[in-house]
Amino acid sequence: MPIVCLGLNHRTAPVHVREQFALAEGKLPELLTALRAETSAEEAVILSTCNRVEIYAAGGAASEVLLNELRAFLVGESEVNDEVFYELNGAEAVEHLFKVASGLDSMVLGETEILGQLKAAYQLALEQKATGGRLNKSFQKAFNAAKQIRTETNIQRGSVSVANVAVELAGKIFDQLDDRTVMVIGAGDTSEKTARALLSRGAQSVIVSNRSPERAETLAAELGGKAVGFDNWENEFATIDIIISSTSAPHYVLDRKKLEPLQSLRQHRPLLLVDIAVPRDIEPEVNFLEDVYLYNIDDLQAIADDYLRLREDEIAKCNSIVRAKAKELLEALKVLPASCRQIGNATSAGKMQAAQN
């Protein structure tokens, strides 16, 4: 019963393809149930972020059969080039999981958000009783490997988050940030971190707009800024210099038709738009407007590549840890007792709590 991984990420698929497969968080429980009902996967974890969608699974069928089933389940009726997917089996799947947990497979090498996202995906699968001995051991070992890499290497030194990369981008557009006003559309975790990073670099003020007024008010208070209604942000447009957008909307929240008439209010001041949502929040045609600079999640790759070059010396050390940990896991799985392979292992919740530390 091998462990497999089927997925696509920022290296294999551009954002316009990834957004076709972005999975809403609220739908993941029913997707896990459907996945195990419609395929031979006996255990499964689904990870969906702005940069990747991956299914980790273990089942009684041969690896090739299970991977084909997972692909059919994920693709559905979508028309997409098969080359955007990667299919990993056994040791390759395990090592990939460890690299994802450690930030070694991220757009920003060594970034830490992915570990929290992976833990959340595993916790959800655990609560849905969609995991068993193999995936429980694999994910717990992955969290352990990530912790070891974080403490024993310098892979995470420096700006290692999408939020900080966005701030670096702002620094390339504006000579200074201390007189700039920032609007954050969407009050999620990434938006909050981006806003805090901008403030730490001297941004003058932050305006928060979110579909949930309560969440917008709470975040604005924490940041010393102000909240505005999701449908009334245009009233602030003349004062805004930077917009960071990261909502879960299935459609554009900013488009050219909406922005173009407002440009005259700005008197040719530059406007930086950073769209870190998948699916995208901002219509690409906005970039054709004068004095507007639009960057999406893939455009941050160039800055991330600069960080990659700074960390190349640490990659070999990290990969060595990954290989060693993966070998330990695969040896343990060979002798895993049948009694530990039951779905939703009752002891896993406690182990998950320990892995969080």
The alpha-carbon radius of gyration of the chain (Å, integer) is 21
Q: Which long-range contacts (CB under 8 A, 24 or more apart) does 30-35 make?
A: 32/124, 32/125, 32/128, 32/130, 33/128, 33/130, 34/73, 35/70, 35/73, 35/130
Q: Catalytic one among 5, 50, 318, 340?
A: 50
Q: How far is CA 351 from CA 54, 139, 285, 326, 345, in A?
A: 23, 10, 48, 18, 10
* Dist CA 212 CA 197 (whole Å): 23
Are the beta carbons of 187 and 215 closer than 8 angstroms? yes
Residue 120 makes CB contacts below 8 A (sequence gap 6+) with: none
Can you state the percent helix, strand and coil of the chain, rounding each to 5?
Answer: 55, 15, 30
**Annotated catalytic, 50?**
yes
* Dist CA 295 CA 168 (whole Å): 12
* Dist CA 188 CA 163 (whole Å): 12
- Tell me which residue of 139, 162, 154 sits closest to 316, measured CA to CA: 154
Backbone phi and psi for residue 242, each to the nearest 5 degrees, phi listed first: -135, 130
- Tell me which residue of 296, 355, 322, 324 sits closest to 97, measured CA to CA: 322
Catalytic amino acids? 50
